[in-house]
Structure 1
Amino acid sequence: MEERSMAADALQLLRLANGEEYSDLTWWQKIFDTLGFFKGVQDSLRAIIQRRNSADPAFKPRAQSCDWTMTHPLFANMGGFHISKSIIDPSYMFGSHPIGDQETFVLDAFQVISLYVRNVIETVPKISRHEIEDRGKADPLVKALVLVQFSWLALSIITRKIESLPVAQLEIATLGFTCCAALTYLAAWQKPKDVDRAIEIRVPEGKYVLPTFYAEYTTSFFATFFTFDHPLQDQDWHLNRYMSSYAWTARIANDNFAGDRPRDRPMTGWLIIGNLVFGGLHCLAWDFDFPTNFEKLLWRISTLTAMLAPLLLLLVVHSFNLPNWARFADYDRRKIRFVLHLSAVYILKPLICIIYVGSRLGVISLALASLRRMPEDVYKTTWTRYIPSIN
């Protein structure tokens, strides 16, 4: 969802750059907008236009129609657009790494749109959604199969409950993971499967751009876990993404979740809802038959812990920003915030993560352990066996 949120923000920035108002929200965005999640996003995007317009005359709304869809910024954030080394400001060049047979810099969606907004390029890259899907060899069949399998599993469990037949704990656990997979595929429905051929953005002669990231293109799976890709200036994130902050990276970030920035508020809402749904599905086995009462108690504890631990983690992340009472204390407020921050980062956050992982592993272990002694009626089939499915 964070990746989709980044793409949505970039698309809204493009529309604002074209002089359009903040576009109509979807049904799920309206829910979060009612809760106040999207107010910070809208304000941040408008601040980009206003600040750049006042600081740089070249930065101004462009009265052009926008034919970009959600697929385009997703494609850009996957590394679909790049620029040549020759148009990078020479003062910022410290060498580059080849993509194919030439030295280039990969751009994310915000960087592509910033070139357009700052009049470096006349228009955003003209490429249709179908061309992007052809380049990425998108396969919606796989996504559809996952959704069908989830629907079949949910229907099977509902049918068994209607017919008063017991359900295995492993089925409930499988339903939870399948639900997560289905929601993931729904969120990434407009995302291309891959980028086989990146598109080069050509900049008119005599114009230079400043890189935000020094992008070393790589397909290594492990490199993405051992590369720090935060900009040198992380505050006011929107305004620094395409200025002169400079950092090493092996990929375009799609998991940047600080939680305290306005643009992360929709992501926070999705995180809370998704975690409650996932944990709530496991609560369906609250009164199931377990081999022992102790295992039933462990299941309940593990399920509740898995539901509440992420919420507690969010509370801890924001805690060092909330001590308004500190101004009435004798100590320097900044020192108190610093201590709270260190406690949250180095003590509480790792501890909560360990507890959460342990609870998730406990749920899986208990689901597998319960197979050693199941009620006989668990093995009775229902009419859903006649529906084609993948088992």
Structure 2
Amino acid sequence: MTLIPLAILLYIPFVYASQPSLNGTSIPTLDVSDCPSCSDTRTLWDILWSCAATLFACAWTAIHPNIPGMKEGKLAMTSRRLLIMVMALIAPELMITWAARQFFSARAAAKKFNDEFGSQHAQANGDHGDIAESTATLLHEISESDEGSAPKAAVRNFREWTVTHGFFAWMGGFMLYVNDKPRATLDPDELQTFIREGSVDMPVITEAEIADRSKGDGLSKGIAILQLVWFVLQLVARYAQNLPITLLEIDTLAVAALTCIAYRIWWKKPKDVGCPYTVHWKTTASLPRKLTYEYVDNITYILARCDCCPYFVYLVYPITSLMGIEVTISPRAARSRRVPSLGGYGEYHGVIITLIGCFCGMVFGGIHCLGWNFLFHRQTEQLLWRAASLMIMCSPVPILLSSSFVSSGMSNSSSVLRDIIGISLFVASIISILIYITARVTLIVLLILSPQSLPSGVYVTVAWTKFFPHL
């Protein structure tokens, strides 16, 4: 299934409106259906295909969604992934923020399990350190039956957790069953608490078994990365030979550069897992209390049903979720017993994550500055491109300052000056977010209009590209 991004589809009406000059002579139209007779030229279709393949590799294959809900159809899962793909194309730095939050949460979950159950497991097995392996196994079984301690039995079955286990737990990998009926997805903290109390058994699942559930392997990830590397090499070669590049290629380069970072962060996360691991509640234990993913976020649900602001909630929800401000549990997520589509993380290393996201946003805007001297159809369009690129590059600064101010603890102290600074930084952060959205929309519109004034050198290709295999 090949999905061509919306921006590339909107390029097509301008193909026949563009007037490139290949050898100094202006031609009224360009027939993109025919291949050029010269081996050192490329068509607009070649440019569109190269960008489409790269964007597809970035925004589709690189995304590692959470585990879908129970009885959800292919249409629901595909539409949800399409939404995430569009967000990755529009704001890839938010994808990096989401991936970073999941990585730190996964690492913290693995460390918690290893610290609590790993040491107990080593201590329990250490009692048989000088006995033969068969005798130790026999004593192990006897001790479990005689002692009747569920927590100790669970500890004896513990296997060291890795970051992959942490990812699997946060993405909805463990489903709690009560009386053989699904109750809700467990987050790592709930799973750890129930194991400690002896309400559930330790889930015995290895990293290899989790990888077997994953639909992504090293080969598929390597192919996507090769496509990105090939695209970047082409642009570097064009720059070395003083050949111009299109604004679409610049935007694709920016998305690809940031997606590579998210791809690396998600490298250990299972991809496209279809169903969770079953954890059964013991009949001797009292029923569990309210679980995290079991009930709807009432405040958000009320606002969504309000006639005055439903669209505002739907617009803000992706931003607040990816940034880690608030994860909304929608009625659909609670009904299907799954982790929120853009959730699956805890509160860990907030300042570092904000720093990563802001830095990536500045890099994203800086790459767009490569089109500073692009020949636009009108000078106004050139000024808008420059201004929008600079605004994207500078807008993360107030957000970073506000986050640093809150994390430092200065906002909790009683001082009129500190209150003024805190409110000012908060207002500046809101304004910077609005500026970013406006600037990004401006760049997308200019991308669509740019084929009207493509320079002639855009269609000239570097000599060595035909000797390298590519997608």
Q: Give the structure-1-normalised TM-score.
A: 0.65
Instruction: String of CA shifts for 1:176-208, please: whole Å, max 9, x gaps.
Output: 112233333222222222332322223444234
1:108 paired with 2:187, answer yes
Give the deviation of 1:156 after TM superposition.
0.6
Indicate which of 250, 256, 261 corresponds to 1:183: 261
Q: Is contact 2:358–2:399 with CA below 8 Å preserved after alignment? A: no
1:166 paired residue number:
244
1:264 paired to 2:370: no
Q: Structure 2: state its 5+ residue gaps.
A: 1-98, 120-150, 297-303, 305-312, 318-325
The whole-number CA distance in structure 2 between the counterparts of 1:14 and 1:258 is 16
Give the C-alpha shift of residue 120 in structure 1. 4.4
Distance of 2:383 and 2:330 partners within structure 1: 49
Distance 2:262 2:428 in 1: 28
Whether the 8 Å CA contact 1:18–1:64 is kept in 2: the answer is no
Whether the 8 Å CA contact 1:146–1:181 is kept in 2: the answer is no
Specify the SS of the correspondent of 1:83: strand
- Write the distance in 1 (CA, Å) between the matches of 2:227 and 2:274: 29
The answer to whether the 8 A contact 2:185-2:294 is kept is yes
Distance apart, 1:285 and its partner CA: 2.3
1:94 match = none
Match of 2:211?
133
- How many Å apart are 1:160 and its aligned residue? 0.9
**1:340 to 1:312, Cα distance in 2 relative to 1, 3 A:** closer
Taking the aligned partners of 1:130 and 1:326, their CA distance within structure 2 comes to: 49
Structure 2 partner of 1:39: none
Deviation at 1:295, TM superposition (A): 2.5
Structure 2 residue 455 is the aligned partner of structure 1 residue 375: yes
Could you tell me which runs of 5 or more consecutive residues in structure 1 were left unpaired when the two chains were aligned: 21-57, 87-100, 229-236, 238-245
Asked if 2 retains the 8 angstrom alpha-carbon contact of 1:7 and 1:74, the reply is yes
Q: 1:295 is matched with which residue: 381, 384, 406?
A: 381
Number of the residue aligned with 2:372: 286
State the match for 2:105 in structure 1: 6
Of the candidates 316, 319, 339, which is equivalent to residue 252 of structure 1? 339
Whole-Å Cα distance in 2 between the matches of residues 252 and 81 of structure 1? Answer: 11
Residue in structure 1 matched with residue 435 of structure 2 by the alignment: 355
Distance 2:372 2:316 in 1: 42
Aligned with 1:313 (options 399, 422, 432): 399
CA displacement at 1:75 relative to structure 2: 1.7
| Cα drift, residue 308 of structure 1 | 1.9
* Equivalent pair of 1:137/1:193 in contact (CA under 8 Å): yes
Letter in 1 for 2:270: P
C-alpha displacement at 1:297, in angstroms? Answer: 2.2
Q: Deviations over 1:188-238 (max 9, x none)?
A: 222222332322223444234444325269xxxx9x96999xxxxxxxx9x
Count of matched residue pairs: 308
Counting only pairs closer than 5 Å after superposition, residues 54-133 of structure 1 correspond to structure 2 as 66-86=159-179, 102-121=181-200, 123=202, 125-133=203-211
Instruction: For residues 235-276 of structure 1, give each alpha carbon's deviation from its aligned partner in whole angstroms, at most 9, with x where no partner exists.
Output: xx9xxxxxxxx99863425756999x6532332232123222
- 1:363 positional shift: 1.8
Say whether the 8 Å CA contact 2:238–2:244 is kept in structure 1: yes
Contact 1:10–1:113 (8 Å) recurs in 2: no
Q: Are the counterparts in 2 of residues 77 and 254 from structure 1 also a CA contact under 8 Å?
A: no
Q: Aligned-residue CA RMSD in angstroms? A: 4.1
**Which of these residues, 266, 285, 291, is aligned with residue 207 of structure 1?**
285
Q: Which has the larger radius of gyration?
A: 2
Greater share of helix: 2
Aligned-partner Cα distance in 2 for 1:10–1:299: 44
Report the TM-score, using the length of structure 2 for normalisation.
0.55
CA distance in 2, matches of 1:80, 1:385: 45
Shift of 1:377: 1.4
| Cα separation, 1, equivalents of 2:359 and 2:225 | 19
**Identical positions, percent:** 27
1:384 and 2:462 matched: no
Q: Which residue of 1 aligns with 2:233?
A: 155
Distance (Å, rounded) in 2 between the aligned partners of 1:154 and 1:170: 13
Distance 1:323 1:102, change over 3 A: closer
**One-letter code of the match for 1:12?**
K
Superposed CA offset, 1:74-106 (max 9, x none): 2222222122235xxxxxxxxxxxxxx823221
- Partners of 1:318 and 1:365 lie apart in 2 by 34
Deviation at 1:373, TM superposition (A): 1.4
How far is the alpha carbon of 1:65 from its aligned partner? 6.7
